[in-house]
Structures are given as structure tokens and as C-alpha cells.
Structure 1
């Protein structure tokens, strides 16, 4: 038996059209391409006899469980998310999907896009709307100052620019 892990808190149910497309592509990749390949390997390994010492069989079955679990999660998640594909009427206020440029005290600028929890990626400046920074940004305007908590303590930023991409 594995160790008990309490269920994770459900993330926000919003997603951009690009994020939804990426999740659907992942489901397709796993279900239509990767799973048939793993199934073929497991089938061939099962023909070899003793399965208890057959690495291809053991690891293939494990990978199939991982794929099935991920596909099940993604399918349920895609059924429950709401795709936000429209820009707001007031483009001066920060809403979901906005690109925001913030400055710190040293006048160092950083831009982020506020996206859903399923598509955040700090390497490409996509910030989850459930993060402390995004929560502090939502509903604010250009030239507002925000204060939010980080592991290092309180941090203050200045909002210098807000824009939305065309859908």
C-alpha cells in the first residue's frame, strides 16, 4: 500500500484557448500514440513467459497505469474547465488572460500573463491565477501598487502596463 496523500485543492476552473488546446494535444499524444506503443511492448513481453522477472512487462504495465491515470485526470479536467476566449470591455483592469508588466523598487521590469492553474509556466512568464502575485494583481489598474506575501516576506510592486492579446 502507498502512503496516504490527502486530495489536492482543486484549482480554478478557467483556461485560455491555448491551454485547452495543449491539454487536448496531451490527451491525444498519450492515448493515440504512446499507449498503443506501450501496449505492444507489454504484449510482446507477456509472450516471453515468466512475467515476475520480465522488466519490459513490469515497467510497461506501470507506464500504462500512469498513462491511464493522466488521461483520466485530463479528461475530467477538460470537462470541468471554462474556456475564457473573450477580452473584457474595460481593458485597463487586470482580468484573467491579461499580460501585466510590473516594476519593483529597483525599477526592474517583469511581464506575466495570468492563466489557469493547468497551464502556468514561469519559464514562459505564465502565472497561475491562484498564485499570490496573480491574486494581488486581479482587479487592479495601471499605476496601482500591490503588496503580496512571498516566502521571503512582503513584497511591493508597481503595475506599469496591462494588455490583452487578440483571441
Structure 2
């Protein structure tokens, strides 16, 4: 039983997940910066603070060790993201339908406010920047639709109706 649980846990973290090429490059650059710039600088800071003597009351030493642990934790997380990434090239579909990698411009039929969303993988979502998951309610509603179509999305504040104005890749 224990072996089965461990293998399920391991497989969960080794599952492939979709990611855009831009998202992959962003995570890779962050990994390289943490590994080759920030972590060595913090190690040097910890070593310098340790050389000063009493470590129990040395704030620079305590902070440095804490920051190195945070960096190591983020590096492990980035390793899992990069190892399990399946890069999807953003290419327009022949029929103009929406799928992973699309940038969609649409208008709320009630408020007349325009929204622009990019459909991305779970690991690279950023709602404030308009980057939503294809598994989100809006992402699911948009999949397969085309410019000119109308979609209904069930949101916490109620049903929202959007008209798709433009689809780009």
C-alpha cells in the first residue's frame, strides 16, 4: 500500500503539463538567475556573516540562511516545472478557433467593457496580466470558439456573456 501511494505521489509531480515557449523561457531564466547569481551571492553573505563570530544574534547570518532555503525551495519547484513541461508552439488554427496559446479580445455584452485574455498552461497563469488557464471557466468556455461567437461564463457574480471580437496567436 505504501509503495502504491508513493508511486502515485511521484507520478503526480512527474506529469507533463502544457506550457508556452515564452513561459518555459521565463522559468528557465529565473532558474538560471537563482542558481548562478542569487544563490552564490547569498552563500557568500552567509559565509561573511558567519566569520564575524556569534551567529545566534547575527541578523545577516540568520536572514542569509533563510533566504538560501527559500531559493533552494524555488529551484526545486522550477525543476519540477521545467522537467514536466511540454512546450506548445503557438500556431493559428486553420479554422480560426481558440485553443492553447490564443490571445482573445472580447467584449462583455452587459457592461460593454473589453477584455483581452491569453490562454496559457496552469503553471504560467497571471490573471492581472490577462493570462488565464485553459482549465479556468473562461478558458474552457472559449475553447473551440471563433471570432464573432458568443460565450456564456458562469462567474461568482453570475452569468457573464461575452462576444469574441478577435483571436490572435
| TM value normalised by structure 2 | 0.83
SS of equivalent to 2:75: helix
Deviation at 1:85, TM superposition (A): 1.1
Partner of 1:15: 19
Residues 1:128 and 2:130 are matched in the alignment: no
Number of residue pairs aligned between Structure 1 and Structure 2? 157
Report if aligned partners of 2:20, 2:121 keep a CA contact under 8 Å in 1: yes
Partner of 1:98: 102
- Which consecutive residues of structure 2, in runs of 5 or more, have no partner in the other structure? 1-8
Report if aligned partners of 1:95, 1:138 keep a CA contact under 8 Å in 2: yes
Aligned mates of 1:135, 1:129 — CA distance in 2: 6
Spell out structure 1 runs of 4+ moving beyond 6 A: 9-12
Partner of 1:25: 29
Partner of 1:143: 148
Shift in alpha-carbon separation, 1:91–1:36, aligned structure 2, 3 A:
farther
- Which consecutive residues of structure 1, in runs of 5 or more, have no partner in the other structure? 1-6
Larger helix share, 1 or 2: 2
Q: What is the RMSD of the two structures over their aligned residues, measured on CA atoms?
A: 2.2
Residue 38 of structure 2, aligned match among 29, 34, 38: 34
Residue 81 of structure 1, aligned match among 81, 85, 88: 85
Deviation at 1:129, TM superposition (A): 2.0
Report if aligned partners of 2:108, 2:161 keep a CA contact under 8 Å in 1: yes
